[in-house]
Amino acid sequence: MNYKKISKTFLIAFVAFMLVSPSISLAANEVTQADRDARKAEMLEDRAASKEERDAQLEAKKDARQDERTEKTCTQLVSQAEKIQTRLAEQNSKLTQKRAEMETKSQNRIAEKASEKTKKRSDWDDKKSDRWEKLQSAAQTDEQNAAVEAFITAIQNAVKIKRDALDAIITDFRAEVKSELGDRKENSDSALEAYKNQLASIASQMKSDCDAGKDAKEVRTYFKDETKKAREAFKNERKSAEKFRDEVSPLKEEKKAEIKAVIETFKASIEAAKTELRSVFPAATSETKTE
């Protein structure tokens, strides 16, 4: 065996191994670092993906809560709007019924007053007929008979003029009051109808906003502000429509003045007739009371 040759070969191999060994170690280290970098990058990607997933879930939950709040708010507001409209319908029904009752009472009062007036006038006519007969019986001369007939005619004419004038004043007054009532009713009904339409429009817009996913707070604010405006406008219109007494008061004063003028004219006519009768028939003093 050639030991020298083997030793030489082993030596060469050893030297070669020593030269290659650092490169192998370096390559191994590089592979290990690359694996670590890859794993680190993968972990970062996993964390990022997890964060994105969590963020997405949180956002989804937030949107779900928002949708739930919006839906709840819309349901509450729609219910509230419906209640307001229901109350308005009930008030309108009560108002219609009250108006009908007031109209019936008014017509009944007018009929009662007309009946009382007719009876009172009939009673006066009956009493005066008796007095006319007594006065005619008291006449002794043609001049007295003529004076009595002239007096009776004057009184009857004065009474008729007074009655016709008073009836016309009352009729005109009632017509004017009825006209004012009609205007008041029309204005009140218009205000109520406008209020109902505004509430319906608000409810419709609110529903559209809810369907579009608008923020619940904005929907609630819109409903609150707009219904407040509509309510205030309705109140102002009703206040204007309810100034009925202010409108009727001048009519009452005018009626009183006209009636006073008619009565004064009537009294003057009666006094003139009495004066004429006394000139030929001094005893005719019992006709001082008329209607």
Measure the CA dihedral 5/7/9/14, to 10°.
-170
**How far does CA 216 lie from the centroid of its chain?**
27
b/e map of 87-111 (b: 16 or more CB within 10 Å)?
Answer: ebeeeeeeeeeeeeeeeeeeeeeee
Predicted pLDDT at 186: 85
The domain segmentation of the chain, as residue ranges, is: 77-278
Give the whole-angstrom CA distance, residue 161 versus residue 291: 12
Query: Per-residue pLDDT averaged across 252-270, rounded?
Result: 94
Query: Per-residue pLDDT averaged across 48-65, rounded?
Result: 58
Query: Per-residue pLDDT averaged across 103-121, rounded?
Result: 90
Give the whole-angstrom CA distance, residue 154 versus residue 275: 12
Query: Per-residue pLDDT averaged across 51-67, rounded?
Result: 57
pTM of the model: 0.64
Give the whole-angstrom CA distance, residue 217 versus residue 210: 11
287 has pLDDT over 80? no
The model's pLDDT over 268-285, given as tens digits with 9 standing for 90+, comes to: 999 999 999 988 876 544
Residue 46 banded pLDDT, cuts 50, 70, 90: low
8 has pLDDT over 80? no
Neighbours of 135 (CB within 10 A): 22
Query: Per-residue pLDDT averaged across 24-39, rounded?
Result: 63
b/e map of 41-58 (b: 16 or more CB within 10 Å)?
Answer: eeeeeeeeeeeeeeeeee
Tokens 């004219």 correspond to 265
Predicted pLDDT at 268: 96
Predicted pLDDT at 159: 95
128 has pLDDT over 50? yes
Predicted pLDDT at 168: 95
58 has pLDDT over 80? no
Neighbours of 147 (CB within 10 A): 21
Q: What is the helix (H) or strand (E) element at residue 124, kind and residue range?
A: helix 3-138
